[in-house]
Structure 1
């Protein structure tokens, strides 16, 4: 195995595109739909849509060489790396076909996306009031207004000068990857994991190397896999805690082991902590609090914790005790990227500054309200996760049928339930490919959408075929109705009951 030059970050350089030769894949390297569009209500349409999430999008080169060679625009081609960088979750949810079962017309239940507002969960009233009272209409400083950075820094126990504000956690991820990894570099990402990690790597010519998270090991990263995957191109490792899609919340011991391994291998840790306040089974521990040697870029946002995904305010917090990110130019690269993007809306920054600042006053009403919001959020999500786990465990068993899913690992945080199809599920339902090794979850979720008007995400989105992810932000009534529909569908396939049963 090719080893790092040393463990002190010597191969880490600020992203540079000059003089780098990158192999450019041909269009024919990619399969699936490039950009799914609204399709007819048919099982073929649903299957094609979900199939596009299983790998890089694209098509054949002829699809894009359609401009007449005599045209003055004949040389125009969209960049191949951008065409290859589709976000599979958005590709699905932006273009869902209409279910064919007329009984559920206009009654689709989405268990696809972690958007609390779609389930009626709203931001704290003090936060929305602060937004109404804010009078900021000019350009913000590139890294964010100082009062908002200071409020966020106090909220996450960082220094104000180390916090840079971004338009949501997605932009924080992109800035972090772009500042660390040049074209031809590589980054370790979790599998299963949030698909945007790999999408952003593809977009910027970075190789995403997947390391496994095993359910039998409680979704603890395989640190030996880190050691096998790291070579002299590898600059960083992404760690998501609480986990998406697994719902695992890492312990202090686990995080310490990861931080020590990252330091040993000379890796910067990209700590995706967007669900940091939504750990309901055990306490959340920030990666930066346990990393003595490895630099950490902590990424967060108000989207999940404060039920405000549409407000688009996130952050990057730089934790660099040894000055590695300063010496390598990464901190400067982050500043340059912020000067290009200009960060989140000034009005939102003003509201968040007010909310977090007031909430830090000990014994104040604002502090009590902020703590109450998080406590209620954790309680709500824990109850809904438990309900989803119960329904999933029982799914398919009515009337003596076989269970559809293996017993799930109870989530400890975040807002998802990670399910594995029970062996033989697709064969028993007579759908998908006849494969004993891995059930065809793409066919499964396609049929569930078509027949039950319930949207789930296939595990292929998260590089884990045979699995399904459902969002647990949905109300307990919605979860109950969704699994009731699935039960009726299974019964109809067995001949026990018609699909129009009450």
Structure 2
């Protein structure tokens, strides 16, 4: 499930890291794509407790998948990473890393500085609408127990294999669904969640509704006879 965790949980993570003498690496590529009841809280606000490395990416919030352009932000007010050479090691790595294409480099400044605010709000509204449609559509299918997404571009749903005939696990479900209905969902096994699936809703609403109807047809066609 992708849910917005209450801020206190992040503070507890920072406190645990501090006790263990560790830094925290926070992947916040989806940080600004939040539309649930809990607001997004950047991990960096707890930098006073433990040093934080925040990972960001342009591909999600600005909807440019494949650009592979991101950044690392150090939240280290106590200079712990500086003293132990972590900051220098990161800089050295970037000096020998692969440079993004010229086209990407040329566009980055304008994308970050000139994207209008309504682009962000429209993106959130579209994702919220699509997430609701996806959740409602999967709830109509007996073999699914979907969980409401509060952010990102996908939701998780548990598969009840007892409702299906001749399908034994999530891998078989996803393989046959792709073969028979040309709909691709990610098997939970790839994420360490057996008999779950991850369904992406970041598509046109018409395509999402078509995909849900195909999933529904597949499940009812392969349902066990009661």
Q: TM-score, normalised by structure 2?
A: 0.91
Residue 323, structure 1, aligned to residue 59, structure 2: no
Equivalent-residue separation in structure 2 for 1:353 and 1:490 (angstroms) = 47
Q: Which residue of 2 aligns with 1:413?
A: 151
User: Residues 249 and 413 of structure 1 are in contact (CA less than 8 Å); yes or no, is this contact kept in structure 2?
Assistant: yes
Q: Which residue of 2 aligns with 1:458?
A: 187
1:291 positional shift:
3.2
User: Residues 457 and 470 of structure 1 are in contact (CA less than 8 Å); yes or no, is this contact kept in structure 2?
Assistant: yes
1:277 positional shift:
1.5
Question: Which of the pair is proportionally richer in helix?
Answer: 2
Q: Residue 59 of structure 2: SS of its match in structure 1? A: coil
Q: Which residue of 1 aligns with 2:48?
A: 292
Bigger RCO (CA 8 Å, 6+ sep): 1
Cα separation, partners in 2 of 1:337 and 1:388, compared to 1, 3 Å: same
Q: Structure 2: state its 5+ residue gaps.
A: none
Is the radius of gyration larger for structure 1 or structure 2?
Answer: 1
Equivalent-residue separation in structure 2 for 1:444 and 1:248 (angstroms) = 25
User: Residues 48 and 78 of structure 2 are in contact (CA less than 8 Å); yes or no, is this contact kept in structure 1?
Assistant: no
Q: Residue 61 of structure 2: SS of its match in structure 1? A: coil
Q: Structure 1: state its 5+ residue gaps.
A: 1-245, 360-365, 396-402, 433-439, 497-502
Deviations along 1:29-60, one digit per CA (max 9) or x if unpaired, are xxxxxxxxxxxxxxxxxxxxxxxxxxxxxxxx
Q: After superposition, where does 1:77-96 map in structure 2 within 5 Å?
A: none
Residue 478, structure 1, aligned to residue 207, structure 2: yes
Residue 307, structure 1, aligned to residue 63, structure 2: yes
Residue 248, structure 1, aligned to residue 3, structure 2: yes
Q: Residue 149 of structure 2: SS of its match in structure 1? A: coil
Equivalent-residue separation in structure 2 for 1:336 and 1:490 (angstroms) = 52
Equivalent-residue separation in structure 1 for 2:198 and 2:220 (angstroms) = 23
User: Residues 415 and 471 of structure 1 are in contact (CA less than 8 Å); yes or no, is this contact kept in structure 2?
Assistant: yes
1:429 positional shift:
1.9
Deviations along 1:304-359, one digit per CA (max 9) or x if unpaired, are 000112332210011112222122221111111111114433442332223333x4
Deviations along 1:393-432, one digit per CA (max 9) or x if unpaired, are 112xxxxxxx1112x221111111111112513xx32222
Q: What is the aligned counterpart of 2:23 among 256, 260, 268?
A: 268
1:287 positional shift:
0.2
Q: Which residue of 2 aligns with 1:500?
A: none
Q: After superposition, where does 1:11-160 map in structure 2 within 5 Å?
A: none
Residue 430, structure 1, aligned to residue 166, structure 2: yes
User: Residues 256 and 291 of structure 1 are in contact (CA less than 8 Å); yes or no, is this contact kept in structure 2?
Assistant: no
Equivalent-residue separation in structure 2 for 1:253 and 1:271 (angstroms) = 15
Q: What is the aligned counterpart of 2:33 among 252, 256, 278?
A: 278
User: Residues 260 and 291 of structure 1 are in contact (CA less than 8 Å); yes or no, is this contact kept in structure 2?
Assistant: no
Q: TM-score, normalised by structure 1?
A: 0.42
Deviations along 1:120-173, one digit per CA (max 9) or x if unpaired, are xxxxxxxxxxxxxxxxxxxxxxxxxxxxxxxxxxxxxxxxxxxxxxxxxxxxxx
Equivalent-residue separation in structure 2 for 1:493 and 1:309 (angstroms) = 34
Q: Which residue of 2 aligns with 1:447?
A: 176
Q: Residue 53 of structure 2: SS of its match in structure 1? A: strand
Equivalent-residue separation in structure 1 for 2:176 and 2:96 (angstroms) = 44
Residue 490, structure 1, aligned to residue 219, structure 2: yes
